Structure 1
Amino acid sequence: MDGNLLRDEIVAAIRAEIDSLQNPEVCLATVLVGSDKPSQIYVRNKHRKAQEAGMVSRHVELGEDATQDEVEEAVGDLAADPSVHGILVQLPVPVGIDAEAVLDLIPPEKDVDGLTERSMGRLVRGRLGHVPCTPLGVMELLERYGIETSGKRAVVIGRSTLVGLPQVLLLGRKGCDATVTLAHSRTADLAGLCREADIIIAAAGMARLVTADFVSPGAAVVDVGISRTEAGIVGDVDFDSVQDIAGAITPMPGGTGPMTIGCLLKNTLAAARMMGSIAP
């Protein structure tokens, strides 16, 4: 399941839609605090793809020594600006900054990363809002590559509010109709549980946790976890041992990571609609 390919299809579709609307200014704004190198790369990639999609992008960068008040002021200004449709605060923020207090300043219609408690509440309640980008990207991959979910058994490994919990909600909601089990590092006989699954979503952040012993023949395996090792970036799935058993599998990198950016842009376009800046 090629995330790069699908992301580029999404970007092209957004560009075509914006062009058809006579190029309204759909604006994604990012806030980066500190000098974390991976975060700088992630933000650059998001802006590059936003521009390819025909969007306007704004960036606010604050130093490692930025205060809580300065960060909150930057986010508050973007929240109050009607020309900004989506706001993304790149995480992690430096030690000493209360990330939750910063995220709370983002209005739900501009929370295109789907990280705030109000966005999560809307997802739980089935109300209009933004779904976190990585779980949404997983759903897009499953749909694009024809992975059936209705009546299927899915195991989500990992219980973070960023991926695991919203992923369970998305897989189990009406229209998707999977029977979902939430697992984690303390789940008894995790490998045995996963062998019963038609779909495995690995999002525990534990390098090469999912081996061939976890996977039944033909199962779909989606790798969300990222670990940095001496050998480079690896996922939660031992790709080499699993790929010959799985019916479908995402690579790492090149699977869910690109889809996170694609879904961020989809959410930004949806945000512009929610705000009435473009036609519904």
Structure 2
Amino acid sequence: MGAVILDGKKVAREIKEQVKSKVEELVKRGITPGLAVILVGDNPASQVYVRNKEKTCHQLGIVSLRYDLPKETTEEELLKLIEELNANQNVHGILVQLPLPAHIDERRVLYSISPNKDVDGFHPYNLGRLLIGDPLFLPCTPWGVQELLLRYGIDFEGKNVVIVGRSNIVGKPLAMMLVQKAKGANATVSICHTRTKNLHEYTLLADILVAACGVPRMVKGNMVKEGAVVVDVGINRVDGGLVGDVDFEEVSKVASYITPVPGGVGPMTIAMLMANTVKAAENLFQHG
């Protein structure tokens, strides 16, 4: 029979349409949402991501401010730019494209972004609010995963969710979101990773399996329970093509639903970033 493909492009289009109408409402009230994106250095993958974000901003009527800084930029220069953007009333969201050059302290930079403009949802203040179930901004990729499944009618309530990966960007925040006593959550969540012993014993228990460990095709067909929902967050370059952390050929024969790579979680991440930017603008409008 084969698994149903969870089409991230299609769902992202629906979300962007909703975001676009919110932007139009805000513009009528005299607020045009603005997103500042800072790119330090010339990482080719980062340049592609930033271009995609810019393009999506233009489609939705969000002002895109792009700052391309040379890789020799000092940490102090970068922090000064963020300070200026924090104070700029026309900038509602600030995003620093990762990874940063080795001489810059990533943590210090992310902590310097105003929590009210942290549309990536990476600031400790926002992660703390997420932990206690009162989020201001949800991190874009985990939110994209949650939203994609919910829009396909897949609820997390009472399900066994196994996440392979413990990053601060995907694994840990997604676990925090799905374990909440809340609509679209209420799951029993296990976090595994590349150091987990007998990983397959955990993954075979999953009703919903999320792979976000950065190892190409690590999740094989014999690691997945018949009829499980499989979400592949990985993007790895192998032999000039893109592959996920899931062996798609094998796993799609066992799973009931599966995300493709590319075209699964990736488009959702950008859609949720736009939703967060609009939320930041709405918050400013409401609270001044």
- Cα RMSD over matched residues? 1.4
Q: Does the 8 Å CA contact 1:215/1:242 hold for their aligned counterparts?
A: yes
Cα distance in 2 between the residues matched to 1:213 and 1:192: 10
Q: Tell whether the 8 Å contact from 2:26 to 2:282 is kept in structure 1 after alignment.
A: no
- Identify the residue that residue 137 of structure 2 maps to in structure 1: 130
Determine if the alignment matches structure 1 residue 158 to structure 2 residue 165: yes
Match of 2:270 among 249, 261, 275: 261
Segment drifting more, 74-83 vs 199-208: 74-83
Partner of 1:88: 95
* Counterpart for residue 141 of structure 1: 148
**Residue type of the alignment partner of 2:229:** A
Once residues 231 and 270 of structure 1 are traced to their aligned partners in structure 2, the CA distance between those partners, rounded to angstroms, is 37
Q: Which runs of 5+ in 1 are unaligned?
A: none
Give CA deviations for 1:7-60 in whole Å, capped at 9, x if unaligned. Answer: 111111111222234443001110000011110110010011111111111111
Which residue pairs with 1:183 in the alignment? 192
Question: What percent of counterpart residues are identical?
Answer: 44
Q: Indicate the structure whose relative CO is greater, using CA pairs within 8 Å and at least 6 residues apart.
A: 2
Q: In structure 2, how many angstroms separate the alpha carbons of the residues matched to 1:231 and 1:45?
A: 20
Number of the residue aligned with 1:170: 177
Distance in 1 separating the partners of 2:225 and 2:174? 21
Shift of 1:246: 0.7
For residue 6 of structure 1, what is the aligned residue in structure 2? 11
CA distance in 2, matches of 1:161, 1:49: 25
Determine the C-alpha separation between the residues in 2 that align with 1:194 and 1:272: 40
Q: Secondary structure at the match of 1:182?
A: strand
Using the alignment, how far apart are the partners of 2:64 and 2:143 within structure 1? 22
Equivalent in the alignment of 2:3? none
- 1:207 matched residue in structure 2: 216
Task: Give ranges in structure 2 of 5+ residues lacking alignment.
Answer: 1-5
Q: What is the CA–CA distance in structure 1 between the aligned matches of 2:268 and 2:208, rounded to whole Å?
A: 18
TM-score by length of 1: 0.96
How big is the shift at 1:65? 1.1
Distance 2:61 2:35 in 1: 11
**TM-score of the superposed pair, with normalisation by structure 2:** 0.93
SS at match of 1:276: helix
Q: Please state how far the C-alpha of 1:79 moved relative to its aligned partner.
A: 0.8
Match of residue 47 from structure 1 = 54
> Which of the residues 8, 16, 23 maps onto 1:18?
23
2:42 maps to what in 1? 35
Q: 1:121 matched to which residue of 2?
A: 128
Report the residue type matching 1:29 in the other structure. Answer: A
Q: Within 2, Cα distance between the matches of 1:197 and 1:107?
A: 37
* Distance in 1 (alpha carbons) for counterparts of 2:82 and 2:275: 21
Higher mean C-alpha deviation, range 188-197 or range 270-279:
270-279
Paired residues of 1:86 and 1:271 also in contact (CA < 8 A):
yes
Deviation at 1:263, TM superposition (A): 0.4
What secondary structure sits across from 2:112 in the alignment? coil
* Residue in 2 that maps onto 1:234: 243
Deviation at 1:150, TM superposition (A): 0.7
Residues in 1 aligned to 2:236 and 2:27: alpha-carbon distance in whole angstroms: 42
- The 2-side partners of 1:34 and 1:141 are apart by 32
Q: Distance in 1 between matches of 2:108 and 2:287?
A: 30
The answer to whether the Cα contact below 8 Å between 1:87 and 1:110 also exists between their aligned partners in 2 is yes
